Amino acid sequence: MTDLWGGLYAAARLLITLDPDLIEIALRSLRVTLSALAIACVIALPLAALLAVRRFRLRRATIAILNALMGLPPVVVGLVVYVLLSRAGPLGVLGLLFTPTAMIIAQVIIIVPLVASIAHQSLRELWAEYHDLLISLDTTQRQRIATLLWDGRRSLLTAALAGFGRAIGEVGAIMVVGGNIDHATRVMTTAIALETGKGNFALALGLGFVLIALAIAVNLAIHWLSRTERGQQW
Partner 1 sequence: MVEMLPLVATGVTVTRRGKRLIGPVDLNIEGDGVTVVIGPNGAGKTTLLQALHGITRLNAGTVRWACPATQARRAQAFVFQTPVMLRRSVLENLIYPLRAGGMARKAALALGREWCGRIGLGAAEGRPATVLSRGEKQKLAIARALIIEPAVLFLDEPSASLDGGATREVETLIETAAKGGTRVILSTHDMGQARRLARDAVFLLRGRVHERGPAPEFFHSPGTAQARAFLAGDIVE
Partner 2 sequence: MLKHLVSAAIATVLIAPLAHAEAMKMAVTTSFENSGLAEVLLPAIKEDTGIDVQLLVVGTGQALRLGEAGDVDAVLVHSKAAEEKFVADGDATHRREIMYNDFVLIGPEDDPAGIAESESAPAAFKAIAETEAPFVSRGDDSGTNKKELSLWAAIGLKPDALGDWYKPVGAGMGAALNTAAGIDAYIMSDRASWLNFGNKGDLALLYSGDPLLFNQYAYLPVNPDKGDHIRNDLAQNLEEWLTSDRAKELIDGYRIADQQLFTFNAEQTDASQAAE
Residue ranges that bind partner 1, judged by CB under 8 A: 126, 129-130, 132-133, 135-139, 143, 147, 151-152, 233-234
- Compute the Cα dihedral for 218, 106, 188, 69 and give only its sign: positive
The residue (of 130 and 164) whose beta carbon lies closer to partner 1 is 130
Residue 189 interacts with which of partner 2, partner 1, none, CB < 5 to 8 Å by class: none
Residues in the site for partner 2, rule: CB under 8 A?
Answer: 31, 34-35, 37-39, 41-42, 86-89, 92, 95-101, 104, 153, 179-184, 194, 196-202, 225-226, 228-229
With a CB cutoff of 8 Å and minimum separation 6, the contacts of 7 are 201, 202, 204, 205, 206, 208, 209
Residue 133 interacts with which of partner 1, partner 2, none, CB < 5 to 8 Å by class: partner 1
Residue 38 interacts with which of partner 1, partner 2, none, CB < 5 to 8 Å by class: partner 2
Minimum CB–partner distance for residue 189 and partner 1 (Å): 37
Minimum CB–partner distance for residue 154 and partner 1 (Å): 8
SS3 for the chain is CHHHHHHHHHHHHHHHCCCHHHHHHHHHHHHHHHHHHHHHHHHHHHHHHHHHHCCCCCHHHHHHHHHHHCCCCHHHHHHHHHHHHCCCCCCHHHCCCCCHHHHHHHHHHHHHHHHHHHHHHHHHHHHHHHHHHHHHCCCCHHHHHHHHHHHCHHHHHHHHHHHHHHHHCCCHHHHHHHCCCCCCCCCHHHHHHHHHHCCCHHHHHHHHHHHHHHHHHHHHHHHHHHHHHHHHHC
Minimum CB–partner distance for residue 46 and partner 1 (Å): 18
Minimum CB–partner distance for residue 149 and partner 1 (Å): 12
Residue 77 interacts with which of partner 2, partner 1, none, CB < 5 to 8 Å by class: none
The residue (of 29 and 147) whose beta carbon lies closer to partner 1 is 147
Minimum CB–partner distance for residue 138 and partner 1 (Å): 5
**Distance from C-alpha of 89 to C-alpha of 81, rounded to nearest angstrom:** 10
Minimum CB–partner distance for residue 131 and partner 1 (Å): 8
Residue 217 interacts with which of partner 1, partner 2, none, CB < 5 to 8 Å by class: none
Residue 132 interacts with which of partner 2, partner 1, none, CB < 5 to 8 Å by class: partner 1
